Chain A
Amino acid sequence: MFSRAYRAAITVPPVLWVTIFLVGSYALLFCYSFWTVSSGQTIVHSWTLDNYRELLRVDVYLQTLFRSMGIAARVMIFSLLLGYPLAYYLSFHAGNRKDLLYQLVIIPLWVSYLVRAYAWKTILGSDGVLNTLLQYLHLTKHPLEFLLYSPFAVVLTLTHIYTPFAFLPIYASLEHIPRNLVEASHDLGASPFQTFWRVIFPLSIPGVLAGATFAFVLSLGDFLAPLLLGGPSGIMISNIVVSLFGAAYNWPLGAAISFCMLGLVVGLLFLSERLEKKWSFR
């Protein structure tokens, strides 16, 4: 139905833009990861595997990567634990308050990420809201120091930020479940729990996978929450990249780490897409 000119007009501009700015820049990231920096602080455009060797040689890179993955995994699990029952409650039992409650989950997304991280900082600090509240109630005598500048603070903040992200796809997949399946299951004698476990949960797995991927991938690459709330023990892999691009001035090494992250993320996305396909029956 659409002429060749029409199809060219809608295809060429976005493809060009994406090729220049996305393919171009990711390709450049790849190239940089094989270049080096001279002692005179200029980029040397000669090809070498030194950066990748460095990553394997110095323990701190892999350690930090594993710590970041640990933090991201915890954020993912907590977001799902908070998000799934909430999505289930909204989709199946919230009745006519469903739309309102849905909006209430979305609204925090409209508050700046940075501002919410900052708010947690004002809550968790040693003279922050929580500590002064505990002392006011005479529950503690001294401020609890572990609250801020710790992996705990990072996980808490990132969970706060990514719970709505985990919630959304789960909610969407639950909403797509035809309600007569639930009725059919009851009709065939399944208890509410059996119905949930044998019908609803399996059909919501694509949403769970999408939500889990979002939470894991986005928190893996986060560098602002660790900088604000993490302290030395909460440093994540992206913080190393940021310092390599800043004060440490070693772009190629930073590019190598980033490229590894890119590979990891693309691999995860691929895996999650495969699994989602396997679990979607439409």
Chain B
Amino acid sequence: MSACHRDFRASGWLPWHAVAVFAFLYLPIVTLIVYSFNGQGVGGFPPRNLTLDWYRMLFADDAIWQSVLNSLLVAVAAVTIALAFGIPAALALDRANFPGKAVFRRLVLLPLILPGIITGLSLLMLFREADVKLSLVTIILGHGTALISVATTEVFAGLQKLDRAQEEASLDLGANYWQTFWRVTIPNLRLSIIGAALLIFTLSMDEIAVSFFLIGRDNTLPLEIWGRLRRGITPEINAISSIIFVFSLVVIVIWYRLRVREGQPEIAAELGP
């Protein structure tokens, strides 16, 4: 293998292409963080007057923190709904036969690939026809519905790796279906479930297309940011984004450690073919 490595390296442009792509991917993120400390506000090169003012302003900004709390609430509830229905959905796709299964599989996964606007609008009409007032609850239902797809794909991938004999052994040893589910199926799917939960949590925290249509009086964080962007740009947004970025980074590192410790360093490409 190493011999053919060298062959390719000779052509040489691939690593440079990779560097360029990484630069492209990280340029906005780096800019965002750098300018969150820029006394002159957003833009203007070079950055001048390093300051923590924007962070100070941010911490005094009740509206932002209220929206962060709302987002956390929505995300936790969305994770709960998505797992509560996504895990059975994955089990059903794996081991039950029912009429319309093929359609069901495609439908569950549809929101993953469908532009959020279509799911958002459709749910808006559903809630309107059902006379449900828009609020955080409608956002939770929207996020839950859209993100069941993520729980289903992750858990289904986990089920493919689960040895069916594990569950048979449990039944064989006298555990009924319910006991087997909690004592064998769930522990074996632990990594997939945690992975799905983290992914759903982050996606929900960031979700805007569906929320955009289902929002009531209380803003989620992305909608709060959106509202401010329309009024003009302020480094306060850089500050909150930087904090969220660092927070996500910590989550990724924890997740990665967990996976490595469990001896499964390969990361399932959720979006793989």
Interface residues of chain A, those whose CB is within 8 Å of chain B, are 1-3, 5-7, 9-11, 13-15, 17-18, 21-26, 28-29, 32, 82-83, 85-86, 88-90, 92-93, 95, 99, 101-108, 110-116, 118-123, 125, 127-129, 132-133, 135-136, 160, 163-165, 168-169, 171-173, 175, 179, 182-183, 186, 192, 206-207, 209-210, 213-214, 217-218, 220-224, 228, 238, 241-242, 245, 251, 254-255, 258, 261-262, 265-266, 269, 276, 280
Contacts and interface: CB of A to CB of B under 8 A. Distances in A.
Given A14-B88, A86-B21, A118 B233 contact: yes
Nearest to A251: B125
The 7 closest A-B pairs by CB, nearest first: A221-B115, A172-B272, A119-B28, A25-B122, A14-B89, A172-B269, A110-B248
B231 interface: no
B25 to A, nearest CB: 5
A119 B29 contact: yes
A112 B145 contact: no
Interface residues of B, number: 94
Nearest to A132: B45
Contacts of A209: 273
A168 B270 contact: yes
B233 A122 contact: yes
Nearest to B9: A93
A7 B222 contact: no
B109 to A, nearest CB: 9
B18 A121 contact: no
Contacts of B61: none
Interface of B: 1, 4-5, 7-9, 11, 14-15, 17-18, 21-22, 24-29, 31-32, 35, 42-46, 84-86, 88-89, 91-92, 95-96, 98, 104, 107-108, 110-111, 113-119, 121-126, 129, 141, 145, 148, 152, 164, 167-168, 171, 177, 202, 205-206, 208-209, 212-213, 222, 225-226, 229, 233, 237-238, 241, 244-245, 248-249, 251-252, 256, 265, 267, 269-273
A22 B149 CA distance: 11
B28 A160 contact: yes
State the main secondary structure of chain A at its contact with B: helix
A195 to B, nearest CB: 8
A73 to B, nearest CB: 15
12 contacts: A1-B171, A18-B89, A18-B148, A82-B21, A95-B5, A116-B32, A127-B44, A129-B43, A172-B272, A209-B273, A220-B115, A261-B118
A154 B29 CA distance: 17
Given A105-B25, A108-B25, A217-B114, A17 B145 contact: yes
